[in-house]
């Protein structure tokens, strides 16, 4: 279990990834710079963006400012981006990565993900990711929103294994089977929408536990992830929440509380179902 914001875990290819990070989905390009800078100066060491978020320029600006303000170097930060669904041909994926690097002002990404599997377009895109990895432009290859059957298909042809699957995961969608499948194959799970985009924050069970610990409901949910060794990216564009959501390392949930939270599962999604999603 990670013990601080700077703590990392080792992925299957030896790359180290911080256990907790800031996601910038639905952060406007002009607001991304401040949010990212705030996160880095607060102590976050992982920033998660994507081609489709339209904020890679602002994110890159925030990275530059944040590293400077915190007296850090590029190597101290872990940056993830993702290739969108209409760029899954080999050539488009290479181009998408190059454009993301340019917008972010970086010469490599720590992790590059195929954002959604698509019907079967991920095959060509994954080949491009393998080549980008061999060239050193990405330090680790991963996927996102891959179900068990997508991973089975991928593992049949991949010459470089994906090290991570970023999926929707929160107390209403605990993803028990997919987590077990990935664990057996050394593919780390990273949770997206851990707060269910805010929709889980008024749950009475969580409110009760939050009251016991004198913590926010967001902190309780994020701590539930950390105590289960689930990597997590959480979003806020508000400085005070960026700070408070990261205060997760000075309290502990009991086994009973962890079980109560896990029992909230309803297999309920806030985002699209990867098998139903209209892909472009
Ligand atoms: N791979 C994928 O397909 C995929 C899909 C979705 C998301 N993601 C990644 O996962 C990250 C996190 O997911 P998410 O952005 O969907 O949702 P989330 O982190 O579950 O929730 C974010 C929402 O909760 C609010 N919030 C945050 N902290 C709060 C607090 N302490 N109290 C009250 N409200 C709070 C935020 O509002 P404010 O900003 O106003 O604070 C925002 O509306 C994304 O940013 C993105 O990087 C990936």
- Average pLDDT on 239-263 reads 98
Span 13-42, pLDDT tens digits:
999 999 999 999 999 999 999 999 999 999
Span 48-78, pLDDT tens digits:
999 999 999 999 999 999 999 999 999 999 9
> Could you tell me if the CB of 193 is within 6 A of ligand 1?
yes
> Could you tell me if the CB of 227 is within 6 A of ligand 1?
no
- Average pLDDT on 96-107 reads 98
Atom of ligand 1 nearest to the CA of 200: 20
* Residue 90, token pair as written in the block: 């080999």
Q: Note the residue count of the chain.
A: 280
> Could you tell me if the CB of 48 is within 6 A of ligand 1?
yes
The answer to whether 196 and 270 are in contact (CB under 8 A) is yes
The position carrying tokens 């997919």 is: 178
> Could you tell me if the CB of 215 is within 6 A of ligand 1?
no
- Phi, psi of 111, rounded to the nearest 5 degrees: -150, 135
Q: Identify the residue whose C-alpha is closest to ligand 1 atom 5.
A: 192
- Cα of 22 vs centre of ligand 1, distance in Å, is 9
Distance CA 137, CA 234 (A): 25
Query: What's the pLDDT at 279?
Result: 64
- Cα of 194 vs centre of ligand 1, distance in Å, is 7
Contact residues for 191 (Cβ-Cβ < 8 A; gap 6+): 166, 167, 168, 169, 170, 225, 230, 231, 232, 233
- Average pLDDT on 126-141 reads 98
Atom of ligand 1 nearest to the CA of 198: 24
Span 162-221, pLDDT tens digits:
999 999 999 999 999 999 999 999 999 999 999 999 999 999 999 999 999 999 999 999
Atom of ligand 1 nearest to the CA of 166: 1
Query: What's the pLDDT at 120?
Result: 78
Q: Which of 220, 160, 222, 224 is nearest to 186 (CA)?
A: 160
- Cα of 12 vs centre of ligand 1, distance in Å, is 27
Q: Which of 81, 71, 72 is nearest to 47 (CA)?
A: 81
164: β partners: 188
Query: What's the pLDDT at 280?
Result: 66
């Amino acid at each position: 279990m990670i013990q601080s914001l700077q703590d990392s875990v080792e992925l299957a290819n030896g790359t180290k990834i911080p256990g907790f990070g800031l996601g910038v989905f639905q952060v406007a390009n002009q607001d991304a710079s401040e949010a990212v800078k705030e996160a880095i100066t607060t102590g976050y060491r992982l920033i998660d963006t994507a081609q489709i978020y339209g904020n890679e320029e602002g994110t890159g600006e925030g990275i530059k400012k944040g590293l400077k303000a915190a007296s850090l170097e590029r190597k101290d930060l872990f940056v993830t981006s993702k290739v969108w669904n209409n760029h899954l041909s080999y050539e488009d994926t290479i181009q998408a990565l190059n454009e993301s690097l340019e917008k972010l002002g970086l010469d490599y990404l720590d992790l590059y993900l195929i954002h959604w599997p698509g019907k079967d377009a991920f095959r060509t895109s994954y080949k491009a990711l393998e080549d980008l990895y061999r060239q050193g432009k990405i330090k680790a290859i991963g996927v996102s929103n891959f179900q068990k059957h997508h991973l089975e298909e991928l593992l049949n042809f991949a010459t470089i294994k994906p090290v991570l699957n970023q999926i929707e995961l929160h107390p209403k969608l605990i993803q028990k089977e997919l987590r077990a499948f990935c664990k057996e194959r050394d593919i780390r799970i990273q949770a997206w929408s851990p707060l269910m985009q805010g929709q889980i924050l008024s749950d009475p069970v969580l409110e009760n536990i939050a009251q016991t610990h004198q913590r926010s409901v967001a902190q309780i949910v994020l701590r539930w992830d950390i105590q289960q060794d689930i990597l997590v990216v959480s979003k806020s564009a508000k400085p005070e929440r960026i700070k408070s959501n990261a205060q997760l390392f000075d309290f502990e949930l009991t086994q009973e509380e962890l079980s109560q939270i896990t029992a909230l599962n309803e297999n309920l999604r806030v985002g699209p179902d990867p098998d139903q999603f209209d892909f472009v």
